[in-house]
Amino acid sequence: MPIAAESHGLWGQSAPSAPTTAALATNLRVDVAVIGAGFTGLSAALHLAEAGSRVVVLDAEDIGFGGSGRNVGLVNAGLWVMPSAISKTLGPEYGERLLSILGDAPQEVYGLVSKHGMDCEAMHVGTLHCAVGDKGLRDIEARYSEWTARGAPVELLDQTAAARALGTNAYRGALLDKRAGTIQPLAYARGLGQAAIAAGATVYSNSPVQGCERDGSVWRLLTPGGSVTADWVIVATNAFSSGPFQMIRQALVRLPYFQCATEPLPEHLLKTIIPGRQGAWDTKDVLSSFRLDAAGRFIFGSVGALRAGGQQVHPDWARRAMAKLFPALAGIPFSHEWYGWIGMTDDALPRFFELGPQMVTFSGYNGRGIGPGTVFGRVLAQHVSRRSNDLLPLPVTHLSGVDWRQLKEFGYEAGAAAVHLVEARV
């Protein structure tokens, strides 16, 4: 049976219920309209409401439906890109601002969780970037060197220490980032939604924006059941953008990513397999990620879409690869399988766009949705409230489509399936 497009797999089963919302069925006048009820949109709405703004969130589906609710749940600091490359690409002013804000992002995430009492399996215990072979070791050594030069609390684990932390001898070493951790992503999105509503924001689900027009100095957004007139619009739809905002989607190459989860592991296995409960991922081009949830389920993921032939190829590979890494897990079945989409940019850096007068968006998180989404939401709220660019960590970028986008997306999906068809068989 095909994986349903609305499936959130294990996250949908283990997350607390979403706050009660309904479709927009009236005409509203507000200060700020936020489109998209994911990490960015709900963080923006929460901070705006706390500052006293009248704010409405519109989502075509429900809270956390898109990339936020399908995230792996690693609350990472920084980006995939090396710190030195960020400053080189963006220049010292924006580069340092982005590095600072994203380096502190996990602390901000966990601070919000604590402040609002969110039930989302938050574990602020670090993450492990695992080195595959000599090339992978050189990569994490370079990252260690750059982050320690900036004073970040990271630790380089040799092969023995990595094996002890992970429960497998498969890696040459690992980079432990003590700033980071894990979270139940759909539960966190719902927690942000509940906090935003409690602060005074209103969230409307099943309310796709079908029309968007400028009316003098305000924006008018049209949904099937009503309209919202707002001074400012924050678009927070990223890789799931459609309708009047499909140009954001066309500026990204979407990368599919799937996850498979077991039932809770026996206690004796939990004593040796990632005993510190850090989230982990490796240095392969077609990377793998693995972690445990609060109940002790093992969650294994990689690049690929669970549709067509990929629905068999990828889980079959995951069973082989999981058993190769952790022989004690051989034969343990998966109880949940699901996938989503990551919005990628050509240089793996996020983008800030002005879509029109007083209409703004961040997009292109490149697989780092939780930390950047949370802090970018706050930054957008401050930008809208203060009418200033002073706090922006990125320059304004011209919005344009990606050349050969569909071919690149096909290449990602087909390439990952080809790798997983043959990998981990011996």
Positive or negative, the CA dihedral 57, 217, 238, 222 is positive
| H/E run at residue 377 | helix 370-386
Q: What is the pLDDT of residue 6?
A: 63
Residue 5 confidence (pLDDT) above 80: no
Q: Give me the helix-helix angle, 370-386 and 39-50, nearest 10°.
A: 40
DSSP code at position 129: E
SS3 45: helix
What is the structure's pLDDT at 4? 59
Residue 142 lies in a domain: no
Among 266-280, 299-313, 350-364, 383-397, name the one with the lowest average pLDDT. Answer: 383-397
Residue 2 has a pLDDT of 53
Q: What is the pLDDT of residue 125?
A: 98
Distance of CA 233 to the CA centre of its chain: 22
CA 335 to chain centre: 23
Residue of 127, 122, 102 whose CA lies nearest to 112: 122
The answer as to whether 160 is a domain residue is no
100 occurs within a structural domain: yes
- pTM equals 0.97
Does residue 236 form part of some domain? yes
Q: Cβ neighbours of residue 272 under 8 Å, at least 6 residues apart?
A: 167, 328
SS3 assignment, position 271? coil
Is the confidence at residue 306, as pLDDT, over 90? Answer: yes
Measured N-to-C along each axis, helices 83-90 and 133-149 cross at an angle, to the nearest 10 degrees, of: 70
Q: Which two tokens stand for residue 48?
A: 């705006």
Per-residue b or e along 178-202, where b marks 16 or more CB atoms closer than 10 Å to that residue's CB:
bbbbbbbbbbbbbbbbbbbbebbbb
Strand 279-282, strand 253-264: pairing: unpaired
Q: Is 337 helix (H, G, I), strand (E, B) or coil?
A: strand
Q: What percent of the chain has pLDDT over 70?
A: 97
Of 125, 127, 124, 100, whose CA–CA distance to 110 is shortest?
Answer: 124
Q: Tell me, yes or no, whether 386 lies in a domain.
A: yes
Cβ-proximal residues to 371 (8 Å cutoff; 6+ apart), any chain: 75, 76, 77, 102, 105, 106, 108, 109
Q: Which two tokens stand for residue 64?
A: 């956390």
CATH of residue 196: 3.50.50.60
| Chain segment 203-222, per-residue pLDDT in tens | 999 999 999 999 999 999 99
Residue 384 lies in a domain: yes
Tell me if 234 is assigned to some domain: yes
Domain total in the chain:
1
| Widest pairwise Cα distance in the chain | 66
Query: Which amino acid belongs to residue 379?
Result: V
Whole-angstrom distance, CA of residue 156 vs CA of residue 280: 14
| 229 strand-pairing partners | 29, 220
Is the confidence at residue 225, as pLDDT, over 70?
Answer: yes
Mean pLDDT of 64-82: 95
C-alpha torsion angle, residues 137, 138, 139, 145 (rounded to 10) = 110
Q: pLDDT per residue over 248-261, tens digit each?
A: 999 999 999 999 99
Residue ranges making up the domain that contains 66: 9-126+179-422
Selected residue with higher pLDDT from 425 and 367 = 367
Q: What percent of the chain has pLDDT over 90?
A: 95
Per-residue pLDDT at 137 exceeds 90: yes
Amino acid making up residue 143: R
In the chain, what is the straight-line distance between the N-terminal and C-terminal CA atoms, in Å?
Answer: 29
- Residues 62, 23: Cα–Cα separation, whole Å: 10
Cα–Cα dist 241/104, whole Å? 27
Sign of CA dihedral 87, 71, 186, 27: positive
Query: Is residue 137 domain-resident?
Result: no
Burial of 216 (0-12, 13-18, 19+ CB in 10 A): exposed
How many CB atoms lie under 10 A from the CB of residue 7? 18
Q: What's the sign of the alpha-carbon dihedral 180, 149, 90, 412?
A: negative
Q: What is the amino acid identity at position 252?
A: L
